[in-house]
Structure 1
């Protein structure tokens, strides 16, 4: 009998288990599959070990970096190479994204790279944000509504929408301001314009520091979490599919386990909210033409771009120097898709060639994985606690922060700060 039963051994379940164990609770983690980590995973391509899931994390709030440091990985946190991201537009052309922007929202609406991206007329419309009364958009709930009202449809559709699609797998009108960019709403209300809000946030977080990774892969978080759980005496059961879950127990293989239940897996509750399926295709190619990183760190794709199904491409070996050091001159590319395309690898090869604008050369290895992204849950089910994407939304910072907060709430006054 454990004090707490955690159903699901993804990153949220492991983080919650560690936090609860530190608070003195006896914890058992039940994972239905044969491995822990969920969407933090690794795969091997051509003898190179790469992240199969998240390969970077947002620096906002310092949540993930703080956990990594507590796990002994603080010295392994690395920034990406200082390369621009590119945009593949609806007309099939490509250009580098404006340098001083946040989620595509420009801090200087009439900058030359903004004008090149959306045209002079649209840039002048965006510049009106500086003179529009501050109350306009002050009550906006979604990022789309805020940008549309302050800067107009061109900034929203041509700059913001492709980035939100690539980062959050949704549209600006479906993502809240706080989820898309924590701190943006407060900065807008404080500064009185979206332009000054973005400029303020960018000054606090200089270019290149919005995301970071971990040398050897973000999946190393899972390795270190498991090492801590073993040290703290947490039992982790693999292949333990929950047959019945209540707030006070779990049925597994005919055995009834008792304890307070924390659900860290999608699909456990009967009224589960359908989520999205995301497919990631990784290609390892021998293509000297890519040595010059013709599209910087990667390409975001407008939703109606002709002939391309991918929503984003990451040039992994250009973005992460530690990968390039281990690649032996080969290039790793990762393309993301909504759901799973037919003939995923061939589709990815065709899309990559079009997005990068150069021949891909010889395909050395490839892998395709489909992840199911849980939709956020808006209410409790039978009094059970939920962590993971169903409770927090997407993004490592959101998932880890929410899991630790839920564990702290369960512990009450028992949790002492980590030293």
Structure 2
């Protein structure tokens, strides 16, 4: 949809519309792909040498291991559809159904109850619930069934709702571990409407919180809530880039930050700084500034640089203060220990704030993904990959620790979580990765704020915006947002092309 095919009558009079995508994270790549697939000329500009944003793999201990997102939520089906569209349908897999455990207060460690939503149990007296919160906590939670029914209205404070209906034990030991693991946020920071879509409606119908959860689970689609890709999620990035470059011929420029964006007639001039590395004589950085002309621009970079760029076009945007994103420190360990072959804590562990641990979660990656276990066993019979994450919104939990100190802390917390005293000598390799994520869309007020900012940006003609800071965390939020952004741009491209064609269509015949 880039104009008229050159083989059509008069087609050589029309130049293809050019879309520049600023940012080569997942939002930018998905938007670029959606535009390129309809024939639009696309250029992607990425400031770093890495494409894919939070999807990244590195070699650790002889294994290619994901050090960013290692799965995707299945809700909406958009991520699966994307993977299938780039030829990865036969590589989509579900995790080991063993599931995760939870480290609760009073030293309790047990399987995370499966019949719940965000940790909220549908059956408070179930054995797996009592294993986590004990009889006292379970009986208090059961009072939800006999308390006055919830009336018509909208609940917002997830933590307040859970505590009021089911008690502190459920909030601290079941719900908080999930919200910290998924959103890096306390339950009180999350809006029920967005953290658990449909729960408010179910509350009105069921009259109790546990009843509402049971109703929602009964109506939900069977199957895993998350899926992965054999080889890791970074394989998805590689497949998208491969299609962008061949057959669509999309130009992808790494190490090319955008320094300015300004109007140029009915289009744009995008000023970039090319940083190819040292000059041929070894001096300097070889940086050069140049300008790229575009008909349309999609801004797909994090909030702070996006607002810095766009506030020059709309000075009122300078009043928007970027939100400090949650910092997450991830320690990935590759180690040899036969005691882990039995998966002592399933596929991982979420941590309650009352558990006395610094880590917020642990993933036993070789227990969760069979393909990774096979790769690990090919190197050594008892080799395992474990990921330990630290961090909470508004707190710099371990930022002051050096890499060695953080790895030592991870080993100590892992020993407690696994119930196995790990020997530091068993560690083959360790890697620390620090991520600055996006504030989850489920945080109270964030959805309204992001939509307000987006509306102001979209008022700038010929420009669109997408990314996790607007859509929320996770591929299941980012991918449809990027597709919506690309869809708006495709519509404008079509309108402009049809407008250029209209005079010819209305002109009298030369005959």
- For normalisation by structure 2, the TM-score amounts to 0.76
Deviation at 1:218, TM superposition (A): 1.2
1:101 corresponding residue in structure 2: 116
1:249/1:261 contact within 8 Å kept: no
C-alpha spacing 1:78/1:356, structure 2 compared with 1 (3 Å):
same
Aligned-partner Cα distance in 2 for 1:352–1:189: 42
Cα deviation for residue 391 of structure 1 reads 1.1
> Where does structure 1 lack aligned partners over 5 or more consecutive residues?
none
**1:330-365 Cα deviation digits (max 9, x unpaired):** 010000111445122222111111111102240011
Query: Is 1:320 paired with 2:369?
Result: yes
Alignment partner, residue 197 of structure 1? 212
Rounded to whole Å, the distance in 1 between the matches of 2:254 and 2:146 is 59
Whether 2:235 is the aligned partner of 1:252: answer: no
Q: Is the aligned partner of 1:289 residue 2:339?
A: yes
Higher relative contact order (CA 8 A, sep 6+): 1
Instruction: Determine the C-alpha separation between the residues in 2 that align with 1:86 and 1:39.
Output: 25
Is the 1:310–1:337 Cα contact (8 Å) retained in structure 2? yes
Q: Tell me, yes or no, if the aligned pair for 1:82 and 1:208 is still in contact at 8 Å.
A: no
| Aligned residue among 258, 261, 285 for 2:297 | 261
Distance in 1 of aligned mates of 2:65 and 2:262: 38
**Number of paired residues?**
414
How much does 1:316 deviate? 0.5
Structure 2 unaligned residues grouped into runs of 5+: 1-15, 274-288, 309-320, 440-445, 495-511
CA RMSD of aligned residues (A): 2.4
Partner SS for 1:291: helix
Determine the structure 2 residue equivalent to 1:309.
358
Tell me what 2:431 maps to: 367
User: Matches of residues 201-220 of structure 1 in structure 2 within 5 Å?
Assistant: 201-205=216-220, 209-220=224-235
Contact 1:87–1:299 (Cα < 8 Å) also in 2: yes
Q: Give the distance between the partners of 1:388 and 1:136, measured in 2 at CA.
A: 37
Q: Contact between 2:116 and 2:122, CA under 8 Å: does it hold in 1?
A: yes
Query: Hey, what's the Cα distance between the residues in 1 that align with 2:491 and 2:291?
Result: 27
8 Å contact from structure 1 (residues 87, 300) kept in 2 = yes
Name which of structure 1's ranges 229-238 and 186-195 shifts more when overlaid on structure 2.
Answer: 186-195
Paired position in structure 2 for 1:243: 259
How far apart are residue 81 of structure 1 and its match?
0.8
Alpha-carbon distance between aligned partners in 1 of 2:299 and 2:428, rounded to the nearest angstrom: 40
Q: Give 2:75's match in structure 1, choosing from 60, 84, 98.
A: 60
Which of 41, 47, 51 pairs up with 2:62?
A: 47
Bigger Cα Rg = 2
Deviation, 1:132, is 4.6
**Contact 1:16–1:407 under 8 Å retained in 2:** yes
CA apart distance, 1:202:
2.9
Q: TM-score, normalised by structure 1?
A: 0.91
Given the superposition, is the C-alpha separation of residues 280 and 172 from structure 1 closer, same or farther in structure 2, using an over 3 Å criterion? same
For 1:101-180, what aligned pairs fall within 5 Å after superposition? 101-132=116-147, 135-136=150-151, 138-180=153-195
SS at match of 1:98: coil
The residue number in structure 2 matching 1:357 is 419
| Cα separation, 2, equivalents of 1:22 and 1:288 | 49
- Alpha-carbon contact 1:137-1:149 (below 8 Å) kept: no
What's the CA shift for 1:117? Answer: 2.0
- 1:306-345 Cα deviation digits (max 9, x unpaired): 2x21110000111111111110230100001114451222
Q: Is the 8 A contact 2:150 2:203 kept in 1?
A: no
Matched, 1:387 2:466: yes
Deviation at 1:189, TM superposition (A): 4.2
2:406 equivalent to 1:332: no
Q: 1:5 to 1:132 in 2, by over 3 A?
A: farther
Determine helix, strand or coil for the equivalent of 2:107. coil
CA separation of 1:148/1:2 partners in 2, compared to 1, >3 Å: closer, same or farther?
farther
* CA distance in structure 2 between the aligned counterparts of 1:318 and 1:97, rounded to whole angstroms: 16
Which 4+ stretches in 1 moved above 6 angstroms? none
Q: Deviations over 1:4-41 (max 9, x none)?
A: 22111011110011112223322211100112111101
